[in-house]
């Protein structure tokens, strides 16, 4: 039965990251057609269509604003606003795999914040993982060889904003309602991007643009719903693994839809970035398997130490 739940959670996670990738492709398809802030604002609008599927029968829609820590709600909203605006611009200006490889810097920033601000203890394996990921990003950027422009800066800002959002979720704890967690990610882009788009907003023309706008917002929100369902069925460390399938989608879309092939060094850097995430996941998997083995041993041999602790 547990294997069935694990399998269902993994499948939902793969589906979620596929939806995120298609959503990113939709935003890139709108490059040159609409202002990036208008695209991000539209994502917040269409994201509200998911709320009825998230709300539990006993919950009220006003629970979107229900939180014991308003500061964390505001931080999540602001971080999501910055992330959506900068990621849309990054995907519009860069090939999708290149933008995504920079956004995979998020664990690096989470680690820095955890150590520098939260004073959390971080293992050597984690530092090794983020170090390899940072090396991969340097290979992609190749400072001094390639020009660093606005698209690269936006992708890095998106990674930093996503890291801030992760820290805000961690500080909020597990007591926040799902509607509150999801609502903060909608109102951030709705208000922030809504204000920024006022100077350049235009009415979308053509069914194609409307379809891409809808795809960007609705699919991203649907992906969030799938991730919530996945984390209820499988351990978080396993649910996070399919994130790296996004790179496969990004490479495919870059070649097939946008005709932006990668040069050899960029491809090498992307592989290194992806492997860094895999390294961290393998470390987590071994850690949890060791804990499960120790728990099983203690259950059946309460008077002795587990094999890992025997000299």
Query: In this structure, what are the phi and psi dihedrals at residue 143, rounded to the nearest 5 degrees?
Result: -55, 135
Residue spans per domain, the chain: 3-299
- Measured distance CA(240)–CA(129) in Å, rounded: 15
Residues lower than pLDDT 70 in the chain: 1-7, 118, 120, 122, 144-145, 172-177, 231-232, 234-241, 277, 280-311
Query: Please, are residues 132 and 295 in contact by the beta-carbon 8 Å criterion?
Result: no
Question: Residue 68 has what pLDDT?
Answer: 74
Residue 184 falls in which region: left (phi positive, over 0), alpha (psi -120 to 50) or beta? alpha
Residues 27-48: tens digit of each pLDDT: 999 988 889 999 999 888 888 8
Taking Cα atoms as reference points, which of 155, 160, 193, 166 lies closest to residue 76?
166
Three-state DSSP at 143 gives strand
Residues sharing a CB contact under 8 Å with residue 108, sequence separation 6 or more, in sequence order: 130, 133, 134, 159
């Amino acid at each position: 039965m547990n294997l069935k739940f694990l399998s269902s959670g993994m499948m939902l996670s793969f589906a979620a990251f596929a939806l995120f990738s298609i959503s990113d492709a939709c935003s890139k398809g709108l490059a040159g057609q609409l202002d990036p802030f208008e695209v991000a604002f539209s994502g917040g609008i269409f994201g509200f269509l998911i709320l009825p599927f998230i709300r539990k029968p006993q919950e009220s829609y006003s629970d979107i604003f229900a939180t014991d820590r308003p500061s964390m709600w505001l931080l999540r909203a602001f971080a999501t606003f910055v992330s959506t605006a900068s990621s849309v611009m990054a995907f519009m200006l860069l090939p999708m795999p290149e933008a995504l490889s920079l956004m995979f810097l998020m664990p690096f920033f989470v680690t820095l914040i955890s150590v520098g601000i939260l004073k959390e203890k971080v293992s050597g394996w984690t530092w090794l993982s983020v170090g390899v990921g940072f090396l991969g990003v340097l290979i992609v950027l190749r400072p001094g060889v390639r020009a660093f422009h606005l698209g690269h800066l936006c992708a890095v800002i998106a990674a930093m904003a996503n890291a801030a959002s992760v820290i805000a979720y961690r500080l909020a704890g597990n007591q926040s309602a799902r509607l509150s967690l999801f609502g903060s990610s909608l109102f951030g882009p709705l208000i922030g991007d809504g204000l920024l788009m006022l100077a350049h907003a235009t009415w979308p023309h053509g069914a194609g643009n409307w379809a891409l706008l809808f795809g960007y917002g609705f699919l991203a929100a649907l992906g969030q719903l799938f991730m919530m369902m996945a984390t209820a069925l499988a351990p978080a460390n396993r649910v996070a693994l399919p994130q790296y399938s996004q790179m496969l989608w990004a490479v495919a879309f870059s070649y097939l839809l946008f005709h932006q092939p990668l040069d050899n060094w960029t491809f090498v850097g992307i592989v290194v970035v992806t492997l860094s995430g895999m390294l961290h996941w393998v470390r987590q998997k071994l850690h949890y398997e060791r804990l499960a083995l120790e728990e099983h041993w203690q259950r059946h041999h309460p008077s002795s130490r587990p094999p890992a602790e025997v000299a």
